[in-house]
Amino acid sequence: MTRNKINISILIAIIFLGILLFIINLLVGSVAIPFTDLFDVLCGKKSNPTVATIVLDYRLPQAVTAIYAGAALSVAGLLMQTLFRNPLADPSMLGISSGAGLGVAIIILMTGVLGGSALSTMGIWSNLGVSLAAFAGATLVLMLILGFSSRVRNMTTLIIIGLMISYLAGSMTDIMKFFSMKEDIHAFVIWGMGSYSAVGTSKLMFFSTSITLGLFASLFMSKNLNILLLGDLYADNLGLNVKRNSIFIILISGYLTAIVTAYCGPIAFLGLAIPHMTRFIFKTSDHRILVPTVMLIGMIVSLLCNIIARMPGLEGNLPINAVTAFIGAPVVIWVILRKR
Amino acid sequence: MEVLKVKDLHIGYRDKAILPPINVSLNEGNLIALIGPNGAGKSTLFKTLTAYIKPVSGSIELMGKELSSYSAKEKAMLIGLVLTERPDDMFLKVYDVVSSGRCPYTNFFGKIEKDDENIIQESLEIVGINQLKDRYFNTLSDGEKQKVMIAKTLAQDTPIIFMDEPTAFIDYPSKIELFSLMKMLTKERNKTIIFSSHDLELLLRYTDDIWLISKGKQLISAKKDDLIGNDILKEYFNLKEDIKI
Amino acid sequence: MKKIILILFSAIYMMSSCDVVSKKSDISENTNDALNLVSYAENFEIYPLEIGYKLVIKYLSSQNEYYLLSDTVSIPNNLTDKTIIRTPVKSAVAFSSTQWSVFQKLGEIDKVKGILESNYTKNEDILELVARGKITDVGMSTNVNAEKLINLHPDLILYTPYSGVDFSHLGRLSGATMLSFPDYLESHPLGRAEWMKVVGLLCGKEEVTNKWFDDIVRRYESLSDKCSKIEDKPTVFSDLPFENQWYVPGGKSYIAKIFADAGGDYIWKDNESTGSLHIDAESVLLKAQQADFWRVINSYDTPFTYERLEKENELYPLFKAFEEKQLLVCDVRETGYFEKSQYEPDILLADFIYHFHPELLTNEWENYTPKYFKRLVK
């Protein structure tokens, strides 16, 4: 019972930390904005229009994107780890991120090669084009994985298949890059670094709604995820349709990853590290607690990464991918060592 | 009351039967041991009887109704299962494992109501692991883990329980404890328990009926007393030496 | 003739109205090709209007139109929904050095408030302006720092468009007009140089850039005319591998055109690409081993020597041009190659003629010493 009390105190502390990090996100950036100015902007008082633009049109959508992306990737990672009962499972491992990358490579590089219809000429469609291509690539890999999952009972085999699909998509991407003009690789480089600023106010509504749907769906999976912890045979005996359930979990997880990857690029390690961090913080395997807390911790770490990426001292923004890997990789190593 | 009635059952994988047709029936409150060498088809028989895999042919009647006509949830309320495989998760608590037995009865979010809580508590007490309930499952001994899995199955509140080699990997005192627990569950709680085991000496002491299974042979259901003092076991399993019971 | 009639007509009209400056009536547009003031560049067009210019920028299949109006005239009714750029531009952000270098050359660098990748330039005046905070570095083309850019309040952002990269949000956030500047797509050296006219227009100094450009064309064409009759053409190839990958200019590229115009025989001249080609080392060896000249760009801080290059890649000594010390090296740091050479195609051409056919540099080119590409002696 004391554990519950501890968890509630941790939860409250974490929520406060989250609010603090959100405010720091609005406060920190290349352009120094005093706290009083930020306060004025947030209260809707008359203020310097530049400050208002930077805070409301640039930093705010970026912070909100960070929150949604962090929650989505972390939950996707949790679902995969429970489904595969493998601490190293995450959606990128199943090749979903690589699939998205291949989609982007195809649309960017092919349109470049074909000329005539280059993406950036499509105005608003160009970013949407990249997102759609990433989503299509991710969905394609997802479908492949689902196809295999109905044939393959063994989860480890499925992970190996996922890894191989991942390599395949990666090598196809490299081949496409090889045959492209130097100038066309530009967009791919930008996409590959990952960024929370690409969503922007205009697409934020769609982005957040799609992710919210996926997050809701994952909340409904809590009970089934708990049963899955016992193993497939026990789960089946307890009345769970294991195969159908696996498909749902892969779908939700893949859907969340595909959306985030489409808009923000392949963001590594959040999906892998956050579920481990959450389990260690709350010392539980109960998904009724884990699913919402993983979302919360995911949001917070994502906000933290975004702050680090935009530290005023660092001229120009660091790619978000570098920061998430820097924070995520040691966490994963620590978890694996502690597990022994 | 007849709990289980198996008629002309062929078990196997992908339409390939591995044993001659099986015909057995069971009344409630019985403790049945399934014995036979590894690879004879014990696992396949268990998986078929618990509806994890489909029979090649034949019928399995459970509580007077064809097994395949039950929904997944109904089956979960009829058949409990204890396996040799154990959940492996760092932060899974004993209470979490036992309460998962309530899964077929709880709502969409798995909310534990007062009734569920009572049954979970009772199950923990029957098995005698109440003091372990806040421990992490992974930190328990094999014998304790086995008890937790049995408590989970009791919480599932099913008339029939299948146990796959429940006495494997545990020490002798624990084995005796386990056999008397199974005996008590069948006699006092009216459960029907079918378990597989290699502990011949002990199981002969506690069980009611024994099912003999061997590669390619007809499954035989025998009364314990019939086995004592004759050569049925020796003949069935093609043994060279006599078995002294 | 049409133009004169238009001017006459508008003059009459102006006389009849009381206030000349607040003239709000429609103006006529004529985008007849004959009126296009651009002769070599393929990706932009300039049309004179009664009260300014219409600038059309093409990038692959898209086309953007900008109306450049002096800030003293009011916007005519029929242009209110068009993209208007007020000239001379007061504050601009220039993504590419080929953009800000023209501002600099025109003495208008104070209009440039932000640039990208200042760490790549060796231009000391620019570096000093960056150090003094007169120019802000707003990041890299792959990672533009939107906050710094918004904070500069530019009127105009000159950007280099790339396939699949959308910069439009920067315009939305900063309120600046986005002007696409795909100068790198021009495959004719004079076409690339002609982009100076765009900056000239923006600065209200179109006469200056027109004059510069006409001089460049005259010099370039007189030089290339001389070379066109040459029979004996030395073979030439270009570029060092980058991380063991050989990227060489395509056969229809800007570099290939300069080689040809300088009376050189570019070994990949039959290739149809206007961009860069990715070629494996074996094919490079096969085709380029016996080439007479090797054009190389040195972007490093230290000068090249044959000894140093040999240490870098043991394939180099296999090339005839390397063994015979016929490397034509451009020191980027010393020459400002990337920002300046685009606007001096005549000089670039003369550089190669100096090496290929020195006897052809006569008259005004007597005693010419190469500016960008010098033969590496040791």
Query: Touching check for B156 and chain A: CB below 8 Å?
Result: yes
Q: What is the pLDDT of residue B243?
A: 62
* Of the listed ranges A112-121, A252-261, A319-328, the one predicted with least confidence: A112-121
Q: What is the mean pLDDT of residues A277-300?
A: 93
Asked if B73 reaches chain A (Cβ–Cβ under 8 Å), the answer is: yes
Closest-CA residue of C relative to A202 is C169
Which pLDDT tens digit goes with each residue over A67-77?
999 999 999 99
Of the pLDDT bands very low, low, confident and very high (cuts 50, 70, 90), residue C22 is: very low
Confidence of residue C17 (pLDDT cuts 50, 70, 90): very low
Question: Does the residue C21 lie in any domain?
Answer: no
Q: State the residue range of the domain holding C249.
A: 228-375
**Mutation for testing the A interface, residue in B90, B111, B145 having most A CBs under 10 Å:** B90
Helix (H, G, I), strand (E, B) or coil at C56: strand
Contacts of B219 (CB under 8 A, 6+ apart): B19, B20, B22, B24, B45, B211, B212, B213
Query: Do B11 and B38 form a contact (C-beta atoms < 8 A)?
Result: no
- Answer yes or no: do A31 and C148 touch at CB < 8 A: yes
Verify whether the Cβ–Cβ distance A120 to C59 is below 8 Å: yes
The reported pLDDT for the residue numbered A48 is 80
Q: Could you tell me the pLDDT band of residue A247, with boundaries at 50, 70 and 90?
A: confident
What CATH number is given to the structural domain containing C43? Answer: 3.40.50.1980
Question: Which tokens sit at A147?
Answer: 């196809």
Of C142, C169, C204, the position where a domain reaches its end is: C204
**What is the per-residue pLDDT for B92?**
92
Q: Is the pLDDT of residue A150 over 80?
A: no
Residue C151: strand pairing partners? none
Tell me the nearest-neighbour CA distance from A44 into chain B, angstroms: 41
CA A281 – CA A261 distance, rounded (Å)? 27
Q: Cβ of A48 under 8 Å from any chain C Cβ?
A: no
Between A266-270, C222-226, C230-234, the lowest mean confidence (pLDDT) is in A266-270
Burial of residue C278 (number of CB atoms within 10 Å: 0-12, 13-18, 19+): middle
Cβ C266 vs Cβ C256: under 8 Å: yes
**Chain A CB within 8 Å of residue C173 CB:** yes
- Average pLDDT of the segment spanning A236-260: 89
Name the residue among C61, C172, C278 with its Cβ closest to that of A118.
Answer: C61
Residues 232-251 of A with CB under 8 A from C: none
Whether C14 is in a domain gets the answer no
Residue C362 has pLDDT above 60, yes or no: yes
| Any domain includes C271 | yes
CB contact under 8 A, A237 and B106: no
pLDDT tens digits along C107-147: 999 999 999 988 888 888 999 999 999 999 998 888 888 88
ipTM: 0.90
- The answer to whether residue B138 neighbours chain A at the CB level (below 8 Å) is no
* Mean pLDDT, residues A105-132 taken together: 58
Tell me how close the Cα of A215 comes to any Cα of chain B, in angstroms: 15
C-alpha R_g of chain C: 23
Please indicate, yes or no, if residue C12 is contained in any of the structural domains: no
Q: Which residues of A touch B (CB under 8 A)?
A: 3, 85, 220, 222-223, 226-227, 229-231, 233-234, 236-241, 279, 283-286, 288, 339
Q: Token pair of A324, please?
A: 């998430």
A313 vs C334: which has the higher pLDDT: C334
CB within 8 Å: B110 and A223? yes
Task: At C165, give phi and psi (nearest 5°).
Answer: -105, 125
Q: Indicate which of C149, C163, C274 best probes the interface with A, i.e. most A CBs within 10 Å of its own CB.
A: C163
Judged by a CB distance cut-off of 8 A, whether residue C147 touches chain A is: yes
Nearest Cα neighbor of B150 from C16, A234, A117 is: A234
The percentage of chain A sitting over the pLDDT mark of 90, rounded to a whole number, equals 29
pLDDT at A17: 95
Looking at the fold, whether C47 and C193 belong to one and the same domain comes out as yes
- Structurally, chain C folds into a number of domains equal to 2
Least confident segment among A26-30, B47-51, C83-87: A26-30
* Per-residue confidence (pLDDT) for residue B221, from 0 to 100: 87
Mean pLDDT over the full length of chain C: 87
pLDDT at C324 over 50: yes
> Is C151 in contact with A31 (Cβ distance < 8 A)?
yes
Q: Are residues C108 and C247 in the same domain?
A: no
Residues 6+ away with beta carbon under 8 Å from C106: C199, C200, C203, C205, C208, C209
Cis peptide before B20 (omega within 30 of 0): no
Q: Residue C21: pLDDT above 50?
A: no
C190 and C258, same domain (yes or no): no
Same domain membership, residue C355 and residue C255: yes
Does the pLDDT at position A290 exceed 90? yes
Whether residue C92 contacts residue C174, with contact meaning beta carbons closer than 8 Å, is answered with no
Residue C98 pLDDT greater than 90, yes or no: yes
- The per-residue pLDDT for B160 is 94
Residue C196 vs residue C79, higher pLDDT: C196
| Residues of B whose CB is below 8 A from A288 | 109-110
C15, part of any domain: no
B110 touches chain A (CB under 8 A): yes
Is residue C67 located within the same domain as residue C162? yes
The residue among B191, C77, B92 whose CA lies nearest residue A287 is B92
- Please give the C-alpha separations between residue A157 and each of A153, A154, B89, C41, C98, in angstroms, as whole numbers: 8, 5, 20, 58, 54
Provide the shortest C-alpha distance from residue A8 to chain B (in Å). 17
Contact A186 C164 (CB under 8 A): yes
* Alpha carbon distance B125, B123 (integer Å): 5
A322 near C CB under 8 A: no
| Paired tokens of B94 | 């004993």
Do residue B89 and residue A285 have CB atoms under 8 angstroms apart? yes
CB contact under 8 A, A223 and B106: yes
CB spacing of B89 vs A229 below 8 angstroms: yes
For residue A23, which amino acid is it?
A: I
Residue that terminates a domain, selected from C204, C239, C272: C204
CB of C362 within 8 Å of a chain A CB? The answer is no
Residue C376 confidence (pLDDT):
93
Q: CA–CA distance from C124 to each of C135, C254, C330 (Å)?
A: 13, 27, 18
Residue C279 sits in the same domain as residue C145: no
From C172, C188, C204, the end of a domain falls on C204
C164/A197 CB distance under 8 A: no
Tokens of C85: 């750029």
Residue A340 pLDDT grade (very low, low, confident, very high; cuts 50, 70, 90): low
Q: Are residues C232 and C200 in the same domain?
A: no
Cβ of residue A120 closer than 8 Å to a chain C Cβ: yes
pLDDT of amino acid A112: 55
Position A118 pLDDT exceeds 60? no
B168 DSSP assignment: T
Q: Rounded to whole angstroms, how far apart are CA atoms C191 and C345? A: 10
Positions of chain B with pLDDT lower than 70, given as ranges: 229, 241-245
Stated as kind and residue range, the H or E segment containing B80 is strand B79-82
C262 and C151 part of one domain: no
* pLDDT value, residue C13: 46
- pLDDT at res. B222: 84
Q: In sequence order, what are the residues at sequence separation of 6 or more whose Cβ sits closer than 8 angstroms to the Cβ of residue C40?
A: C186, C188, C190, C191, C193, C194, C217
Taking Cα atoms as reference points, which of B95, B96, B97, B116 lies closest to residue B105? B116
CB pairs below 8 Å between A and B: how many? 76
Chains adjacent to A (≥3 CB pairs closer than 8 angstroms): B, C
Is C64 an interface residue toward A (CB < 8 Å)?
Answer: no
For residue C20, pLDDT over 80 is answered with no
Averaged pLDDT for residues C157-166: 84
With CB atoms and an 8 Å threshold, state whether A121 touches C174.
no
pLDDT at position C140 is 85
Mean pLDDT of chain A: 84
Tell whether B14 lies on the interface with A, counting CB pairs under 8 A: no
Angle between helices A287-309 and A270-282 (to 10 degrees): 120
Identify the residue with better confidence: A108 or C129.
C129
Domain-embedded: residue C220: no
**Facing residue for B52 by CB, picked from A3, A226, A233:** A233
Does A130 score more than 80 pLDDT?
no
Query: C2 in a domain, yes or no?
Result: no
Give the per-residue pLDDT at A124. Answer: 44
Query: What distance in Å separates residue A239's CA from the closest CA in chain C?
Result: 49
Task: Judge: B103–A222 Cβ closer than 8 Å, yes or no.
Answer: no
H helix and E strand count, chain A: 15, 0
A114 against C168, higher pLDDT: C168
**Which residues of chain A does C150 touch, with a Cβ-Cβ cutoff of 8 Å?**
31, 50, 53-54, 58
Beta bridge partners of C298: C331
Same domain? For C196 and C61 the reply is yes
Q: How far apart are CA A306 and CA B145, in angstroms?
A: 44
Q: Can you give the pTM of this predicted structure? A: 0.83
C234: pLDDT strictly greater than 90:
yes
The terminus-to-terminus CA distance of chain C in angstroms comes to 61
- For residue C116, is it within any domain? yes
C155 and C293 assigned to the same domain: no
Structure tokens at C221: 């064409």
| Residue C245 sits in the same domain as residue C287 | yes
C200 and C232 fall within a common domain: no
- Read off the pLDDT of each residue in A140-155 and give the average, rounded to a whole number: 79
